A and B are shown apart, each in its own frame.
Chain A
Amino acid sequence: MRKRSFALILYFLFILLPIYWMVNMGLKTNEEILGSFTLFPHAPTIANFRTIFTDPDWYTGYLNSIAYVSMNTVFSVLVALPAAYAFSRYSFLGDKHMFFWLLTNLMSPPAVFLLPFFQLYSSIGLFDTYLAVALAHMLFNVPLAVWILEGFMSGVPREIDETAYIDGYSFPRFFLRIFLPLIRSGVGVTAFFCFMFSWVELLLARTLTSVDAKPIAATMTRTVSAAGMDWGVLAAAGVVTIIPGALVIWFVRNYIAKGFALGRV
């Protein structure tokens, strides 16, 4: 047993050390980073973080990311809900093919779509808007949302639907008043996954934006190449991008494992 906890502690050290190192660097001045090798900041400073929250280049990027990620999460869950219900309750013409086709969208490398995406969204005038990135991310988030929600919905006995219809509920009323509350945790988990995958994706987000909707992650890569290596600010920006994810995960911590287990292949 002792050997096991030792291995676990070792693994968690492996997970946390790189993150700690970034936090550590975010709190140092560039002189300390480059000048001497220190395990913790000797003269802690929040100047790097102040740069990020006062320089419009940085904080608008942050707000942009949050804007399109939220839009994407809401849209994905909204369109996925009825579809997941259909897949879990009815069999219809071509349902299995449809389900498989949705999943193949998780397998298409985004690099394949970069150029056509750029042209498509430019031609309909959406280039450099939140909507463009939100729509583009639905490519992989909607199939995922349908997949997870379908798993949760299949866990709800069908007798509940039938009883509700006998009691005279119409479909929309039944769905909103009875069914949704039953799969609340499922919706939470799905939203978490949509948030997560939209938040971490950079390739499409960077291709579809230039100024107005530029995500913070793209700001990071560009600042690095333009102004040399401002390690402190770069590390601080990295730390800031972890915060929303860490907050969201805290809210769904009890459901994460469940969300992973459900869903069919």
Chain B
Amino acid sequence: MQKTVNNKAWLLVIPVFICVAFSALIPLMTVVNYSVQDILGPDQRVFVGTEWFLQVLQDDDLHAALIRQIEFSAIVLLIEIPLGIALALTLPTGGWRASLCLVLLALPLLIPWNVVGTIWQIFGRGDIGLAGYLVNALGLNYNYTASPIDAWITVVVMDIWHWTPLVVLLCFAGLRAIPDAYYQAARIDGASPWAVFRYIQLPKLRGVLLIAILLRFMGSFMIYTEPFVLTGGGPGNSTTFLSQYLTTLAVGQFDVGPAAAFSIIYFLIILLLSFIFYTVIQNLGKGPAS
């Protein structure tokens, strides 16, 4: 049914607009301001144009952090999305078992992010943590504070632990929304489980998968608190991701100009990649397969 055209509806949207604009537009304008000025003192500002942008574009540490960030997001998405779909298909479909599973699944999502870091900090330690102790007992030399590879593995496993439940919940909800008639038709046709998945469940999950992929991409690309608590970006720079590098730049070294310029680039990267994901997944669904 067509929606009624009514421009007075804006009156209902205005409170939201004001609230969000206050917290979004004003800081954003401040950031833009910083990015083109050199602030020497409270009243001394020099317009420097694109100097900061050029500077951060040539920053090697920044490139390294960006590459690490892309690798991390790619790994996390490639593991969490298929794992989430698989688990959603295995979950019980009704009764108290389903309720229990959902509540347990949601637990990691409700833990403050720095506590997530703390949990894994403790859990992974070789002397007092269960995981670290067991892995070492197996004869592997594991120490996430000294070895970059171990640190990487720990951060990735932590993220999988933390965020796969979100993908599972989304897919579970999407699966519940498929009408029974589809499955009955598939049974009459004698479709194999794989065919049911490929031609019924997967196309129907497209909507929620889009949300899941976008949320996970944005979340992993902006990750800060968990690795900060867990590894502090180390050993060396091996787990310093973009947000953390940015914060060091802005707060630690107080290089406001470059940090602001970098923030804008960062935001544009996220926007661009989100848009690409969105378009690609939307168009996949329009193909002959569905």
| A→B interface (CB under 8 Å) | 4, 7-8, 11-12, 14-19, 21-22, 25, 33-34, 37, 39, 75, 79-80, 82-83, 85-87, 89-93, 95, 98, 102, 104-117, 119-120, 135-136, 138-139, 142-143, 146, 158, 196, 199-203, 217, 220-221, 231, 234-235, 237-238, 241-242, 245-246, 248-250, 253-254, 256-261, 263, 265
Q: How far is the CA of A8 from the CA of B93 in the complex (A)?
A: 13
B24 touches A108 (CB 8 A): yes
A4-B90, A15-B165, A249-B110 given; A112·B263 CB < 8 A: yes
1/0 per residue B99-129: CB within 8 Å of A? 1011111111111111100111011000111
Contacts of A106 in B (CB 8 A): 218
Contacts of A16 in B (CB 8 A): 104, 107
Overall SS of chain B's interface: helix
With most chain B CB atoms within 10 A of its CB, the pick from A39, A79, A105 is: A79
Contacts of B91 in A (CB 8 A): 8
Q: Which residue of A lies closest to B92 (CB)?
A: A8
Q: How far is the CA of A199 from the CA of B225 in the complex (A)?
A: 14
A111 touches B247 (CB 8 A): yes
A256 touches B247 (CB 8 A): no
Choose one: A37, A83, A235; the contact of B15 (CB below 8 Å).
A83
Check if B13 is an interface residue, CB within 8 A of chain A: yes
Contacts of B111 in A (CB 8 A): 19, 200, 238, 241-242, 245
A21-B122, A265-B278 given; A258·B173 CB < 8 A: yes
B15 touches A15 (CB 8 A): no
Q: Which residue of A lies closest to B273 (CB)?
A: A107
A196 touches B110 (CB 8 A): yes
Contacts of B129 in A (CB 8 A): 21
Distance (Å) between the CB of A152 and the closest chain B CB? 13
Residues of chain B in range 66-110 having any CB-CB distance to chain A below 8 Å: 87, 90-91, 99, 101-110
Q: How far is the CA of A15 from the CA of B91 in the complex (A)?
A: 15
1/0 per residue B21-45: CB within 8 Å of A? 0111011101100100000000000
Choose one: A34, A220, A250; the contact of B115 (CB below 8 Å).
A220
Choose one: A119, A245, A257; the contact of B30 (CB below 8 Å).
A119
A248 touches B118 (CB 8 A): no
A142 touches B13 (CB 8 A): no
Contacts of B108 in A (CB 8 A): 15, 19
Q: Can you sample 23 A-B contacts with CB below 8 Å?
A: A18-B120, A18-B161, A21-B119, A22-B119, A22-B122, A34-B127, A91-B5, A92-B6, A92-B9, A109-B243, A109-B246, A115-B251, A142-B19, A196-B109, A199-B110, A203-B224, A231-B128, A235-B122, A249-B110, A256-B102, A259-B173, A261-B170, A261-B208
A253 touches B103 (CB 8 A): yes
Q: How far is the CA of A249 from the CA of B210 in the complex (A)?
A: 25
Binds A, one of B47-55, B56-64, B143-151, B264-272: B264-272
A257 touches B267 (CB 8 A): no
Tally B residues with Cβ within 8 Å of A: 92
Choose one: A221, A245, A254; the contact of B229 (CB below 8 Å).
A221
Distance (Å) between the CB of A11 and the closest chain B CB? 6
Check if B286 is an interface residue, CB within 8 A of chain A: no
A15 touches B107 (CB 8 A): yes
Q: How far is the CA of A13 from the CA of B154 in the complex (A)?
A: 17
B218 touches A248 (CB 8 A): no
Q: How far is the CA of A219 from the CA of B288 in the complex (A)?
A: 55
Which 8 A-B pairs have CB atoms at the shortest separation, nearest pair first? A245-B110, A261-B173, A116-B27, A116-B30, A90-B9, A112-B263, A86-B12, A82-B12
Choose one: A80, A111, A115, A119; the contact of B222 (CB below 8 Å).
A111
Distance (Å) between the CB of B273 and the closest chain A CB? 9
Choose one: B99, B208, B218; the contact of A260 (CB below 8 Å).
B208
Q: Which residue of A lies closest to B130 (CB)?
A: A21
Given A83-B13, A85-B12, A249-B103, 8 other A-B contacts at CB below 8 A?
A: A21-B122, A79-B19, A83-B16, A90-B6, A108-B267, A109-B221, A202-B112, A265-B207
